[in-house]
Amino acid sequence: MILLFVLVKLALQFLAIQEYGYFRDEFYYLACARHLAWGYVDHPPLSIAVLALDRAVFGEGLVALRWMPAVCGAAVIVLAAALARELGGRSWAQVLAAVAALVAPVCIGLASTYSMNIFEPLFWMGIALAMAKLSNGASPRTWLAIGALAGLGVLDKHSTAVFVGAFVVGALATSFRHRMRCKEFALGIGLALVLVAPHVAWQVAHGWPTLQFLRNAQASKNYLVSPLEFLRGQIESSHPLAFPLLVTGLLALLFAPRLRAYRSLGVGALLLIVFMLLQHAKAYYVAPLYPLLFAAGAVFVERWIASTRTRAVAGAYVAVLVGTCAIVLPLATPLLPPERFVAYAAHFGVESVKSERHEMGPLPQYYADMFGWRELAHDVSLAYLSLPEAERAHCMVFAQNYGEAGAIEYFAREFPAPPVCSGHNNFFLWGIPSGEIEVVIVIGGDRNELLEAFGEVVDAGVHRNAWAMPYESELAISVCRQPRLPPERLFALTVHYE
């Protein structure tokens, strides 16, 4: 049965792979994969290293880029069932946990595009599963697996360090702490530190840019989510009908006598949720916990069914979850053309959950950031090709953010363009092209500021796309000449980590 859910998951994800275009961050990840390093301004190196290997084997097409997210999404279903089994659940609990992980909109959405987020639940739930096995009497050598998962998890996404911290506190606050009194626990810590050490060295060498990135993002970019918005986000992300199962799972891990052995998992999950709530975090930041909570909830419900003999009601619940997946699917992954999606969302009264401080367009940001990139590359290429041959050899493009810069780079094979630079995140560290720069094609920006930086600013067009984010439409494309300062000094003024 679990295999059937895995196959359904893969089919659903592959169905949506090519409906829209590349997501903004995917262009950036591809750019990072061309500049392998032990760290980046806004993320650790593991997901980039995996992507570099993937693109070397399969290329950079949408299917080549997104088959892995689909497979990781399917693995989350397997982990949910495995957790239910380890927590004492029988076949029905495993099915319910797998179904909940299948229909949760956030699990569908995160498995639709490539990012570090696709690996995060695998590391988190791998650690949770190993801790459950230790509670059930597994060998202390399991700590080595936990150390490896923790180290690799931090190399994937820094939030894994927060997860590990919360669950360590949960372990120390419960009887699970007795299982930490062994040399294998210390060896696991050592293994995690060894794995993370090269990334820490990169941070030190570059002046800890990730800390500046986090401060700036919190202060000026990320929308500060209120507690009610955070709660609403959990209901929508987990599926309104699966949310009660999620809450049941958390309460069962904290209070159910039959799950007392796994109390550390409940305390760790609660601490992590409270931490994210206090940080005004985006709702999906706690989504990697969902498989654990679904599994615990399913085990509790299964035992309740056995004592009350309400199997028919439970079966109907599973059937309704599966049935409503068809309704939720277009809201979680790009299946409908944008015009139909807007009408569909309006019909069900669904509004976008705000995650950044930008003006919103007709589409939610997750979908809007898949539109307009190819057209932008075309418009920039027209400006470039309009230059005299002599100027093209001393030209570069300046983009306002990594999405624009990454798109110009990616589509340069189809739409010729000069080297691209940006002051945004890791593009700033990569700098500007070597050689003499006489002409800069600037995407967007304030015209008065451009006139302060250059002696000549010529309008070369305007990029528009009705479905893109508003700040990515109505973008002036300017050809700038006669820089008033050396290009290196002008570029140094553009840095923004956020």
pLDDT tens, position by position, for the chain (498 residues)?
899 999 999 999 998 888 899 999 999 999 999 999 999 999 999 999 999 999 999 999 999 999 999 999 999 999 999 999 999 999 999 999 999 999 999 999 999 999 999 999 999 999 999 999 999 999 999 999 999 999 999 999 999 999 999 999 999 999 999 999 999 999 999 999 999 999 999 999 999 999 999 988 877 767 788 999 999 999 999 999 999 999 999 999 999 999 999 999 999 999 999 999 999 898 999 999 999 999 999 999 998 887 776 777 778 898 999 888 889 999 999 999 999 999 999 988 877 665 555 678 899 999 999 999 999 999 999 999 999 999 999 999 999 999 999 999 999 999 999 999 999 999 999 999 998 999 999 999 999 999 999 999 999 999 999 999 999 999 999 999 999 999 999 999 999 999
Amino acid at 182: C
Q: What are the structure tokens assigned to 125, written together?
A: 């739930």
What lies within 8 Å, CB to CB, of 246 at 6+ separation is: 100, 234, 238, 290, 293, 294, 297
Identify the sign of the CA torsion 10, 16, 22, 28. Answer: negative
The full 3-state SS of 458-484, as one line of letters, equals EEEEEECCCCCCHHHCCEEEEEEEEEC
The CA distance from 433 to 391, in Å, is 15
Q: What are the structure tokens assigned to 140, written together?
A: 């202390």
Identify the sign of the CA torsion 299, 303, 308, 312. Answer: positive
DSSP string spanning 431-462?
---SS---EEEEES--HHHHHHHEEEEEEEEE
* Cα 51 to the center of its chain, rounded Å: 14
* Cα 408 to the center of its chain, rounded Å: 22
What pLDDT was estimated at residue 201?
98
Identify the sign of the CA torsion 349, 352, 354, 358. Answer: negative
Q: In this structure, what are the phi and psi dihedrals at residue 414, rounded to the nearest 5 degrees?
A: -95, -40
Bridge partners (DSSP) listed for residue 422: 399
Using CA atoms, how far residue 470 sits from 80, 135, 316, 361, 442, in Å, is 39, 51, 44, 6, 18
Q: In this structure, what are the phi and psi dihedrals at residue 222, rounded to the nearest 5 degrees?
A: -70, 140
Beta strand segments in 303-391, E: none
Using DSSP bridges, classify how beta strands 454-463 and 475-483 pair: parallel, antiparallel or unpaired: antiparallel
The CA distance from 152 to 209, in Å, is 20
Using DSSP bridges, classify how beta strands 439-443 and 475-483 pair: parallel, antiparallel or unpaired: antiparallel
Q: What are the structure tokens assigned to 108, written together?
A: 């569908």
What pLDDT was estimated at residue 99?
97
Amino acid at 292: L
Bridge partners (DSSP) listed for residue 396: 440
3-state secondary structure of 42: coil
Report, in this order, helix, strand and coil percent for the chain, each rounded to 5.
Answer: 65, 5, 25
DSSP string spanning 117-151?
GGTHHHHHHHHHHHHHHHHTT--TTHHHHHHHHHH
The CA distance from 482 to 496, in Å, is 24
Please say whether the beta carbons of 272 and 289 come within 8 A.
yes
